[in-house]
Chains A and B, each alone.
Chain A
Amino acid sequence: MFWERDQKGGYGKEIQKSRKELIRDGLKELRQEMSKWKEEMDEKFAMDPVFVRPGDMDKVWVLNSKEALDQWVVTCDSDHNEGRSTAGLSLSPTGHGLFSGQLCTDPPKDGRVKRAGYCNMKSIRPRKSFKREVYLEWADYNTLEIRLRGDGRSYMLNISCAGYFDVMWNDMYSYPLYTRGGPHWQLTRIPFSKFFLTSKGRIQDKQALHTPGQGCVPRHLLW
């Protein structure tokens, strides 16, 4: 009740590998991680200042190739036998990311799950060299812009800002993403100031401000 045992709330998979295998796998990636670290150090010593002028736009995700789609993870409630929804992320014939699936809001009759029906599309967490977790550097920006072609339903846009302490592990900034539907593309611009703080799907009474400098992991959640 007062503390969290697990970052994933007990949903993560346990590592089945032995220590020897883990060391072997880790050493395989050492070379890449070292070169990554070298780049980071070069950047640090170059000390290039970052200028963001008003009106500047930075493209973070362009879902137009297979590699770009690999940066995303799709989950739904049938993953843990908590519903019947299915979802997938594929490349459409015109070469755009297509998030599709079946949404079923019927809860399974196991007497435990009260409500069901979600499909979720989440970007994988950015990491520095040696797999150190970082946040996306969005401190200089104030708006999230999305170009999409929706189906008329409302979606939920979640920016996950998991903090260090267990009470902050489930912190998320959310705002509904309304879609028009129809054959035309839609451009939605949501200021970061509009996002509200939620934790485990509940809006918080104290709307803590998003600390500048701390980045985010956006997730798109279908409801």
Chain B
Amino acid sequence: MSAPASLYRVLSRVVISSSSCRASLSSAASQKHSKRNLTSSTPHSARKEDPLEETSLTIRSLFDSKERNKGTFVAACDIFMKRGPHRRGHVEFIYSALKLMEDYGVHKDLEVYKRLLNLMPKGKMVPTNIFQIEFMHYPKQQQCAIDCLEQMEMNGVMPDTEMEHILRNLFGKMSHPVRKFGRMMYWMPKFKNASPWILPQVVPNDAFELAKMAVERMCTVDPSSSITIYQTSEVEDALEDTWIVSGQSTVQQELLEKHPPGESIKVEGPFRIHLRNKSVGYFVLRAEAKPKPPPPSRAVIDDVGSIKSWFTGELEPEETLLTQPCSVHEQEDGTILALCVTGTSGRDSLLSWIRLLEKSNPCLARIPVLFTQASPIGEVITVEPEKHHDEITAAT
């Protein structure tokens, strides 16, 4: 019993000594290299933290270009492609490329995704029997291709037949990326045009175009709506020179005509409407809600309508033909009379909007219009440079 115990003790001592030796070595190494700033993270993140830092050992990657656009991205891929027939490190290259796609503005570009997947070597990874198929032949590479497809899915990019050919040539027809491709091609077209308010795949960055899209979208509630584009320079002594996209329907014009001249109406806003990843602030011309007309009374005894239903024991639904139904604009919290988005969202541009509305609605001259002081959505939030909050007002 004593022999193994002593052997164990000796062994453990050896282990301890070797570990201590390693520790001392590593500490020495860390002391030695502490000034070198070895960065083990991706080159991009290192660049982001301190772009000016030039150390003696800096990893230069293909994605270090100053100009970040599709051209430089594709050029980086091409350089990698020409490095040799083996394309060593293609999985790592694709992963780092996927991370940077948004910075380069190519995350919604199908062609670039195809180019990335084309970097993988063809033929080598095609499985030859069913066990290889089911147990994920070349798992790292297949997972990489799946992650690439996943990123496409997250960005709403639909693959095409060429993509299928690329994947089939890489991993065979029953591989996991091809199955993922099949799922994407089944589900993505179903939701591509499912929204009743269609928007382009990439919404424009221009505030005026966005404003037009926003007002058009909000005006779909009433088919009789028309959108007018005004320039504030049309109004005399307007302080701001900007555009106004105004939406008003004929129903709203009639409601405005019926409005009693003594009662004031309000211009409220800016409220926010989102168009994909952009948002626009809009203003509303609103009157106070009118009380609903009283329902017809059932006091008359001879009224046959008040006989109880034999089936449910309840009264039959009331006759509503005689009362005029409310329009969509007459809501419980107010009557919406017009909508607008202005270039500056300033107080003066709203004043110009009311002046310009007077041309099509002469009755506005007799109605007092109030402007609300505070924005109902709160103050503009300043974001820290690292955070990208979803709520960035584009048009305000």
Q: Please report A residues at the B interface, Cβ cutoff 8 Å.
A: 84, 94, 102-106, 115, 117, 151-154, 176, 178, 180-186, 196, 203, 205
In the complex, whether B314 has a CB less than 8 A from a CB of chain A is: no
Q: Please report B residues at the A interface, Cβ cutoff 8 Å.
A: 154, 183, 187, 191, 194-197, 214, 217-218, 220-221, 271-275, 279, 282, 284, 286, 328-329, 331-333, 336, 339, 381, 386-391
Return A178 CB to nearest CB of chain B, in Å. 4
Decide: B339 and A183 in contact? CB cutoff 8 A: yes
Known A-B contacts A94-B333, A105-B390, A106-B388; the reply to A183 vs B271 at CB < 8 A is: yes
- Residues from chain A with a CB closer than 8 A to the CB of B333 are 94
Decide: A176 and B274 in contact? CB cutoff 8 A: no
Decide: A94 and B339 in contact? CB cutoff 8 A: no
Return B156 CB to nearest CB of chain A, in Å. 11
Partner of B339, one of A102, A182, A185: A182
Known A-B contacts A102-B391, A103-B391, A105-B390; the reply to A180 vs B194 at CB < 8 A is: no
Can you list 30 contacts pairing A with B, beta carbon distance less than 8 Å? A102-B390, A103-B390, A103-B391, A104-B387, A104-B389, A104-B390, A105-B390, A106-B387, A117-B390, A151-B272, A152-B273, A152-B275, A152-B279, A153-B274, A154-B195, A176-B194, A176-B195, A180-B197, A180-B218, A181-B217, A182-B218, A182-B273, A183-B218, A184-B218, A184-B221, A184-B331, A184-B336, A185-B331, A196-B187, A205-B183
9 closest Cβ pairs, A-B complex: A182-B218, A181-B273, A152-B274, A94-B333, A152-B273, A178-B195, A103-B390, A184-B221, A153-B274
Decide: A102 and B274 in contact? CB cutoff 8 A: no
* CB closest residue in chain B, given A205: B183
- Residues from chain A with a CB closer than 8 A to the CB of B332 are 94
When chains A and B are docked, how far (Å) is the Cα of A3 from the Cα of B154? 28
Decide: A180 and B272 in contact? CB cutoff 8 A: no
Decide: B274 and A181 in contact? CB cutoff 8 A: yes
When chains A and B are docked, how far (Å) is the Cα of A153 from the Cα of B387? 20
Decide: B187 and A203 in contact? CB cutoff 8 A: yes
When chains A and B are docked, how far (Å) is the Cα of A94 from the Cα of B196? 28
Which of A103, A104, A184 counts the most chain B CB atoms within 10 A?
A184
When chains A and B are docked, how far (Å) is the Cα of A203 from the Cα of B339? 39
Known A-B contacts A106-B386, A151-B274; the reply to A181 vs B194 at CB < 8 A is: no
When chains A and B are docked, how far (Å) is the Cα of A205 from the Cα of B176? 13
